[in-house]
Amino acid sequence: MPPVPAPPHEHDDDELPALIPGTGSPRLQRWVDLLAALLGRRGSVSFDDLACDVPAYHAKAQQRDATDDPARRRTLAESLKRTFERDKDDLRSLGAAIESLPDEHGNPAGVYRLRRENFYLPYLAVTVPGGSPSVPPRVDAYGYQTLSTLTLEPDELAAIVDAAATVRGLGDPLLRADIDSAMRKLAVDLRDHTGAPSADTPRAIASRLRPDADVFVVLSGALRARKRVTFSYHAMSSDRTESRTVEPYGLFFLSSHWYLAGRDSDRGELRNFRLNRITGATVRSTAKQTPDFAVPGSFRLRAHAQSRQAWELGDADVMDGCVEFRGDSGPTLAAAALGMSVDGAPRQRLFRVRRTDSFARWILSFAGEAVVLSPPSLAAQVRDTAAATLALYAHDMVARDAPLSAALAPPRGRTETWEPKGAAAQLQRLLAVVPQLADGKDHSLKEVADRTGTDVATLVNDLHSLVDRYDMPGGFVESVQVYVDPDTVSTHSHHFRRPMRLTVNELCALELGLAVLRVQRPPDEHAVLAAARHRLQAVIAKLPGDAIPDALYHVSLGEVGSTVHLDVVRHGVRTRTKVHLGYRRSGRDTTDERIVCPYALVAASGMLYLIAHCDRAATLRFFRMDRVQSAEATAVCFTVPGDFALDDVLRDGKPFLGTPGETMRVRYGPRIARWIAEREERTLDADGALVLESPLADMEWGMRHVLQYGPDAEVLYPPALRALLRDQLTQLVAEQ
């Protein structure tokens, strides 16, 4: 390591950050030395031989051998072996496929091995026009020649890039760190091909209420290790915070929120827990290498995570309800596709109902366009709910200037930037840095830091932590030699000249993105997504025999409408050509014909939106993709205005255009106000209720929004909406 540079001159920000002597990381140094000792051998090696090649082990072994006290010798030997076992398990958890094998005497874990082909990323190539794959530069010594070459098709690589962009938008910083790490590895060989995602990849807008990243770290680790977790959970139904012990089965993202699916040990039931309501998550600390439980073979996270209606949940007896849909509005037609068909009655559907109160409120939200035909008890529940809601509008209108709710409440979860910490994060950064520096050339510190997603100070101190070894035993040569100047850096090493293969975390994060794309893209593109997933599985770091996890993460971004229509819209976004839409607005029974210039797709609040310039309205408009009735491509090109910015049309993670005109004020009762307050980040009023004012898109939308809550929500303003609700509810009570 070069001498520590002098302190920078005043106002000179380009000088090398000062280093602190003696601040090397012993754990990081042991890990790198252990990896180098294993990678430097073609076959297996005993622990005693490894201890001779790792300076920290060698020093402790010399202490052991120098003592004549048998008890002291045994204590030192056991301490040395425990250190090795911890280091080995830590490296395995970081993705190093270190094998424990029987020795020649039959001892089950007498020797150890780390195959180069199981540690290093294969050489990656991509087929270019004309059919000839690009050829990455190869290292011609130290066993790197034996690494295989994996060739990707351009559309497979494009799918991986789009998947990475999608996961970055889900709002979880831990997943973003995994995605960024994976893409940096792939970019070593494919730097010219891993650019921006496709223009037609929807941007996912995460919920404002995000889980604490440390909670996600703990749960992700517990999932892989099959360890029980204990945490405090705020249940909205009871408004209480209680301790829960859970066997985690999987994590899924649904309607802008992350959930944990797991068996509640105290209740003996499979439950879902929203991550932003979890605090203080800890993993069972005993028997760290032994799983606490086994996930039932019948459990499938993808099937479990599919969005279910509120009336389908619970353990009450099932009631078969028959509903007739009498309207032609967009919401009614969408609902008429749910449930089961009734022979000879195309407008009727059968629903399996467990919670009749939730089902009655859902029927109420269609404002008379859905009527329960049977059984009589379910129809009576709807009628009683409508009557209770109608009673709210028997009195005069509440004054418009009634006091609003309290100010915004502080968010539950942490919102500051999260980054990996400690020696594990340092090792991951260094394994990404060294392959870029070990070519015998000097490299700009700033450029290397930018490529590895860090800053110059962090990069220099990572390198310093690795090579600051004032107590290294004589005769040892450092596994990585580092040369740092004020502006440049270079390294020398026989090892780590290729990136490490993708880890389980990185694979799962990329597969998560591919799962999103599968939902959003038509069936004829699924083969490419499957091929990309297969390529990724070929570059995962895993122990021989390890199963590639298939149930850690699942995602659904809500309603996307017809994938056929979505494909046409995506083509328009990508090629900058206009699209002819058939669109049914909320509450309308007719379809409008629109010619639009599609600018972008946005996934927000469980829905997929198209942001487009509408020729008829001569302005920017949002179109919910689940309300698109038809889509036809045109050959007419357009240009996106230079001043268009997606962030300008998003407010608080929601699509919003223009200045709000008419507003509506709603009082949500104590029974449901907690959920609304959490979603809107508000504080409840003294009586447990919540009053909110929001833009009123149209009267029909406002009526449907309020009716879904039954008597637990009352419109305070405007008077016209109160009158509309009074008339509609009166008619509904009479007809139901």
- pLDDT digits 0-9 by tens, 586-616: 666 678 899 999 999 988 777 788 999 999 9
Quote the pLDDT of residue 436: 82
Q: Of 282, 276, 167, which Cα lies nearest the Cα of 227?
A: 282
**Residue 344: which H helix or E strand, with range?**
none
For the whole model, what pTM was predicted? 0.76
Distances (CA, A) of 135 to 33, 437, 652: 31, 20, 46
Instruction: Give the pair of three-digit tokens for residue 77.
Output: 């030997």
Using alpha carbons only, how large is the chain's radius of gyration in Å?
30
Quote the pLDDT of residue 407: 42
- pLDDT digits 0-9 by tens, 540-568: 887 776 666 666 788 776 677 778 898 99
Instruction: Report the distance separating Cα 81 and Cα 66, nearest Å.
Output: 17
Instruction: Report the distance separating Cα 600 and Cα 611, nearest Å.
Output: 5
Instruction: Report the distance separating Cα 242 and Cα 224, nearest Å.
Output: 25
Quote the pLDDT of residue 138: 84
Quote the pLDDT of residue 470: 60
- For residue 480, the tally of other CB atoms under 10 A from its CB is 22
Q: Of 175, 172, 193, 150, which Cα lies nearest the Cα of 537?
A: 150
Beta carbons of 657 and 613 less than 8 angstroms apart: no
Quote the pLDDT of residue 17: 36
Q: Is 205 exposed, middle or buried (0-12, 13-18, 19+ CB in 10 A)?
A: buried
Quote the pLDDT of residue 473: 65
Per run of 10 residues, the mean pLDDT along the chain (length 736 residues) is: 38 36 73 92 90 90 90 92 92 89 81 92 85 78 84 91 88 83 89 80 74 85 89 86 93 84 91 91 78 87 77 81 86 84 92 91 91 93 94 69 46 52 84 82 88 85 77 68 84 87 88 86 90 89 68 72 87 94 78 92 82 91 88 95 81 55 86 84 86 81 90 92 91 81
Helices (H), 501-542: 504-520, 526-537
Quote the pLDDT of residue 653: 55
What are the backbone angles phi and psi of residue 55, rounded to the nearest 5°? -50, -45
Task: List all residues 6 or more positions away from 130 whose beta carbon is below 8 Å from its beta carbon.
Answer: none
Quote the pLDDT of residue 697: 65
Q: Of 475, 582, 346, which Cα lies nearest the Cα of 55?
A: 475
Quote the pLDDT of residue 379: 93
Beta carbons of 558 and 229 less than 8 angstroms apart: no
Quote the pLDDT of residue 23: 53
Instruction: Report the distance separating Cα 483 and Cα 589, nearest Å.
Output: 72
